[in-house]
A and B are shown apart, each in its own frame.
Chain A
Amino acid sequence: MKGKIRRRIITIVCITLISALFVSCNNERNGSNGDPNKELSVWCTLYADIALMYFNYAEMPLYKELEKKTGIKIKFQHPAAGQQSEQFNLLVASGDLPDIIANDWLGYPGGPERAMTDKVIIPLNDLIENHAPNLKKFISENKEYDKMIKTDSGNYYVFPFIRGDEFLYTYRGIIIRKDWLDEEGLDIPSTISEWHNALTAFKKARPDISPLTFSSFAGAVAATSAFLGAFGTGDGFYIQDGKVVYGALEPGYEKFVRLMRTWYEEGLIDKDFATNDSNALNSKMLSSRAGSTIAQAGSGLGRYLDYAKQENISLDFVGCPYPVLTKGQKPEFGHRMSSYEGIGSYAITVKCADKELAAKWCDYGYGAEGHMLYNFGIEGVSYNLEDGYPRYTDLILKNPEGLSVSQALNGYARSLSNGPFVQDKRYFEQYMAHEQQKEAINRWSNTNAAAHALPPVTYTEEESLKFSKIMNDINTFKDEMLIKFVIGMEPISNYSNFVKQLHIFNIEEAISVVQGAVDRYDKR
């Protein structure tokens, strides 16, 4: 009896599943109908935030609108998030390429030039000249971008994603509890000694807390050079007086390590700073167990301020300028992304049958209409023009279904992620909903970091092999020693041995590789 019932249940389940499968197969077939002449396939990442709402970019209102405007139907192929590089490799290895691939082409082994000789992508010089009027206009008006999106031998290779304003380059820096500073009657610290005062005061007032904390210390220092920059030194490779140098070899680096060591000994730095993940960091900042950290404007500062507002508690953060040694100095280093970094840039493959059509589609985003569409979505739905200023609607900023701003925005526009267009400053102004965020970005971006940044260089294949072999060892070693020095597992007196070991790893060779690539870049 029991067996019969079970068997029946299993049969029913089977039938349902199989019919479901048929349904899905049918859907698939219906989906592929359309004018074959006007169809392109695009391989690009579907961001997790967007994947929560849509199967496919084709379902996004933005891309439906784009199809209407350009008359080109796009079949998107999305690699599963998180394993793009593996899937990209398989794509290339199997040779079954779509028409357009969005990827970080600077990260292609051997660089974009190699991708062309490997017969993956094509040079775009003719296409941009004749079929991409918008991009052509853009790069002829902005010569610095022209240099960025071609290889050493002068081949254009992508329709790039470009951050369109200085305001968008910097979004990371040090934040500190404003309310605690006020309690102690202190100003926003701007020098190392002021920082020391403030942190010591925090510690005195609240012995249980950590005045300064980090998550992924080495990464945060590498991205921002916070505190390190005060000693006239950056992290990793950067340009000093026209020459490529490596931070840890510079005298300032040792001073920075000593400073961190002293602060750690004095209890000013979180005991768990080396093990914090972002969740731990967030919980410490929000539950008043830490007073300052290196954070991002949106997912750090913005989130904390949202929380304070929501829970109606007194929790106030401000962004601090990057610290210097003597008051009034302009910080030499700080967080600064470059306008073109390689990510999210669209290249046309050798398998593309209608290259002009592909170029036309990619080019759309650099025109006036495309610019608004990619950055703000659809007029009247996701934004309204108010005195020429595209203001996001409440659908985005106060989503009725309870979506966060970033989720809602991701559902309508690509400004928060990337694509073949120029990112608009006005998106960021609205995304940064709190006054403190804008203020922070202004403080953080007031540095000379631009003078030290490496341009988007490309390496030859041999260079990149050599470089990665050297740097794999060095990066691990450096991260390890840095933390060991700070927590006292390794006496600072051994710093010279650390530098010696870097030389044994052949850091000079790596420096000369970077120098060579920079020289070639400058000659473009």
Chain B
Amino acid sequence: MWCKVLLIDMIKDKRSQNRSKVNQNSDTYEKAFEAAIKFSRVVQNIKADFKKNKLIYSMALPVLCYYIIFHYAPLYGAIIAFKEYTPGRGIWDSPWVGFRQFTAFFNSYYFARVMKNTFLISVYELCFGFPAPIIFALMLNEVKNKYFKGTVQTIVYLPHFISLVVVCGLIKAFTDSNGIINDIIVLFGGTESSLLLNPALFKPIYVLSGVWQEIGWGAIIYLAALSAIDPQLYEAAKLDGAGRFKQVVHVTIPGIAPTVVILLIMRMGRMLNVGFEKIILLYNPAIYETSEVISSYVYKVGLQQFNWSFSTAVGLFNSVINFMLLILSNKISRLLNDVSLW
């Protein structure tokens, strides 16, 4: 402790000494000393912190080791985004090309279109795909019969396990001009048409089928959060005369709110990640304009010439945007409701 006092004294000393000197100079001195103090404080804090939390840091050690070895060590590979990589030459010896891969993507004839589609599909998924499992979990939570609840839960998570190839095959069969959906449309007086040939319908079909496939799986986390709510809170609410609806609003929803917010933040960080597999299995040339997304475009381009550098560059671009979205949403969340990732 005493050394800190000494330092402060020294500064006071200096200040009085320097008062006569030019202002600019004294400012820099002051800043330097303040920085020195700050630094020494940080060092001291860290020392104290390590002492206090040494067991906690011993726990963090294996975790950090894992991240450093398996995630940070290979990170140099991202530089191929700025190179023209060929496997024969390897990462280091491939020639540098600067931002050529990026500009190739930005100047591509399809850039605007794939950005727009990726963004829109992400937004639709956020608007429909995100809340759906929450609503489903809440609805299921209102069911009192244990066996019914268990059965529904088990069944609804089944589609998650069916391979995409099969699911997309079913979607195509149901939406073609003789499919069951057209049968229903005709029943209500419409005319049959091949739904996947209609550019306006691709996104709804994509998003809704996604909701259907993932709702049960997505609800699991919320069901767990719901089960962790203290039943005494419900008792208390009942005593206060709250009906079922009020209980949901005042006990259930606040109970799962932290989980919802964290998942929402993470979701923002995956905004532009629309996978290519389902898109490629569902689309056809007639609806490229509404269905081609970044990943499917890269897949097609990368496929022809093993264009690793190009796909890495696009991936990097994607990551930077997603990372910024995550930081932004984390900040907003911290301001609004004090839940944040860091």
Contact = CB atoms under 8 A, between A and B. Distances in A.
Interface of A: 85, 89, 92-93, 95, 109-110, 114-115, 117-120, 218, 271-272, 274-277, 279-280, 289, 461, 464-465, 468-469, 471-473, 476-477, 479-480, 482-484, 487, 489, 505
Interface stretch (B50-58, B228-236, B302-310): B302-310
A120 B300 CA distance: 26
B183 interface: no
Contact of A469 (B104, B169, B284): B104
Interface of B is mostly: helix
Contacts of A461: 86
Nearest to B286: A483
Interface string B183-212: 000000000011011010000000000000
Given A271-B193, A275-B197, A487-B197, A120 B172 contact: no
A480 B104 CA distance: 21
B243 interface: no
A116 to B, nearest CB: 10
Contacts of A279: 169
A218 B86 contact: no
30 contacts: A85-B303, A89-B87, A92-B88, A93-B90, A95-B90, A109-B86, A109-B306, A110-B86, A114-B88, A117-B88, A271-B194, A272-B177, A272-B178, A274-B194, A274-B286, A275-B196, A279-B169, A280-B173, A465-B84, A468-B301, A471-B304, A472-B304, A473-B110, A476-B285, A476-B288, A482-B285, A483-B284, A483-B285, A487-B197, A489-B199
B89 interface: yes
Contacts, number: 95
B176 A479 contact: no
Interface residues of B, number: 37
Contacts of B172: 275, 277, 280
Nearest to A116: B88
Nearest to B104: A469
Contact of A118 (B86, B108, B289, B308): B86
A332 to B, nearest CB: 26
B72 interface: no
A290 B88 CA distance: 49
A115 B288 CA distance: 35
B286 A480 contact: yes
A51 B276 CA distance: 27
Nearest to A117: B88
B109 interface: yes
A487 B307 contact: no
Nearest to B168: A277
A464 B288 CA distance: 26
A473 B88 contact: no
Contacts of A274: 194, 197, 284-286
Given A476-B110, A487-B286, A85 B306 contact: yes
A279 B170 CA distance: 11
A93 B71 CA distance: 19
A275 B306 contact: no
A465 B292 CA distance: 23
Contacts of B84: 465
